[in-house]
């Protein structure tokens, strides 16, 4: 493994702080990113035990964004049309944003964060609050194998990929389909979106890296769709190598070609990226300093895990941002880890009391700009740091 980026000491990204805990010293870890020349995997170097991150206080709910709701709904329509599954397993079912589009008898959820698992269990969807493992796979598929296994934004959070794929291979029927969706490394590097790296995102996958892992488990990708979620993701359609029901589409060859052309198999690409990240930091700080000199009122918009990486790496706190707005009830009245900026209940932006908003949730730019069109019309601006820090509005 070759380390290529050091994002400094970081707290756990989703550990929002209560007021009474503000004075307690937070646990921090060194966030460094590395490239494995052998299998092309890009991963964080120091990992945090999963129980510290995914437990019954997990704050992120997929259903809270219209963009995500629509993305899952569109996908379910396609799944019903093309694959007509009779038994689905979802690994990382969160609050049920995908599950709820299927009949209860058709689908089983796996969600180790019990606060989230409860939300689907209460609606009578079978949901196991456990980490995905071979043991659990055996329990779920004792009587029949799954003809569809779905997992989005979950694989990148799991350290032991081998165990995951052994369990997937065990529980998938011979003609079954595995659909995985995770942020695309190509988009992350292209967009200088270094905030895709935080404690929970152990990996950001390229197709060439995923292909190497799948190979070991006799699985192969037969189609890839580029999606816009999380700043650019890939949705991989995967089958057992012995399954001849699906032809391998050109999309697979094309995506690999794009990645190789960009150099995702070469360390030099990552070293260049690292230089761009350092420049991005300087430029972002510079923007904040200029705005502060003008005595403008700056707030944050969307207290994301991604923001945690940016704020702590660039040492941005109350020196620049007064508070954040966020729609997630769990985050409201808490403080962002590390930077300790207060998160307030979301209110529509108003030029009378805000001049500029730092867009922590930049991956929802379109949805947010639509919501805040009056603020923008009145001259309000956003700071967006990807692909390069700038003011927009």
Residues in contact with ligand TYD by the rule CB under 6 A: 60, 64-65, 302-306, 325-328, 331, 346, 361, 363-364, 367-368, 371
> CB-wise, 79 or 349, nearer to ligand TYD?
349
> CB-wise, 156 or 251, nearer to ligand TYD?
156
Q: What angle do CA 270, 286, 357 make, to 5 degrees?
A: 95
| Beta-sheet pairing, 219-227 with 233-240 | antiparallel
Nearest alpha-carbon partner for 125 in 149, 94, 103:
103
Nearest alpha-carbon partner for 182 in 239, 252, 251, 234:
234
**Smallest distance, Å, CB 309 to ligand TYD?**
8
**Smallest distance, Å, CB 372 to ligand TYD?**
9
Q: How far apart are CA 210 and CA 255, in angstroms?
A: 12
> CB-wise, 221 or 305, nearer to ligand TYD?
305
**Smallest distance, Å, CB 200 to ligand TYD?**
8
Nearest alpha-carbon partner for 92 in 67, 113, 118, 110:
110
Q: How far apart are CA 176 and CA 387, in angstroms?
A: 38
**Smallest distance, Å, CB 369 to ligand TYD?**
10
**Smallest distance, Å, CB 307 to ligand TYD?**
7
> CB-wise, 107 or 305, nearer to ligand TYD?
305
Beta bridge mates, 233? 183, 227
> CB-wise, 118 or 365, nearer to ligand TYD?
365
Nearest alpha-carbon partner for 280 in 161, 196, 390:
390
Asked whether 127 and 114 are in contact (CB, 8 A), the reply is: no
Nearest alpha-carbon partner for 152 in 102, 103, 86, 94:
94
**Smallest distance, Å, CB 66 to ligand TYD?**
7
> CB-wise, 141 or 304, nearer to ligand TYD?
304
């Amino acid at each position: 493994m070759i380390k290529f980026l050091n994002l400094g000491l970081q707290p756990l990204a989703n550990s929002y702080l209560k007021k009474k805990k503000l004075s307690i010293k937070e646990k921090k870890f060194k966030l460094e990113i590395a490239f494995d020349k052998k299998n092309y995997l890009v991963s964080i170097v120091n990992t945090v035990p999963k129980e510290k991150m995914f437990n019954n206080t997990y704050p992120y709910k997929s259903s809270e964004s219209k963009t995500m709701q629509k993305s899952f709904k569109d996908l379910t329509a396609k799944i019903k049309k093309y694959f007509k599954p009779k038994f689905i397993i979802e690994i990382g079912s969160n609050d049920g944003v995908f599950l709820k589009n299927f009949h209860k008898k058709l689908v089983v959820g796996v969600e180790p964060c019990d606060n989230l698992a409860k939300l689907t269990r209460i609606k009578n969807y079978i949901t196991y609050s456990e980490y995905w493992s071979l043991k659990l796979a055996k329990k779920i598929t004792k009587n029949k194998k799954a003809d569809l296994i779905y997992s989005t934004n979950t694989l990148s959070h799991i350290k032991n990929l081998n165990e995951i794929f052994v369990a997937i291979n065990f529980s998938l029927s011979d003609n079954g389909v595995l659909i995985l969706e995770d942020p695309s490394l190509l988009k992350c590097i292209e967009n200088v979106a270094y905030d895709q790296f935080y404690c929970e995102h152990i990996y950001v996958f390229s197709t060439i890296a995923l292909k190497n892992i799948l190979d070991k488990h006799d699985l192969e990708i037969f189609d890839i769709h580029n999606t816009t979620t999380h700043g650019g993701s890939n949705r991989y359609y995967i089958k057992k190598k012995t399954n001849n029901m699906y032809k391998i589409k050109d999309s697979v060859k094309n995506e690999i070609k794009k990645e190789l052309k960009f150099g995702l198999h070469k360390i030099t690409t990552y070293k260049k990226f690292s230089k761009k990240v350092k420049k991005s930091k300087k430029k972002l700080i510079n923007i904040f300093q200029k705005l502060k000199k003008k005595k403008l009122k700056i707030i944050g918009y969307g207290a994301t895990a991604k923001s945690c990486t940016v704020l702590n790496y660039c040492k941005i706190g109350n020196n620049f941002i007064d508070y954040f707005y966020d729609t997630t009830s769990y985050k409201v009245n808490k403080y962002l880890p590390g930077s300790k900026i207060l998160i307030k209940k979301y209110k529509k932006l108003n030029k009378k009391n805000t001049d500029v908003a730092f867009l922590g949730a930049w991956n929802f730019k379109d949805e947010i700009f639509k919501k805040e069109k009056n603020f923008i019309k009145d001259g309000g601006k956003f700071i967006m740091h990807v692909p390069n820090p700038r003011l927009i509005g």
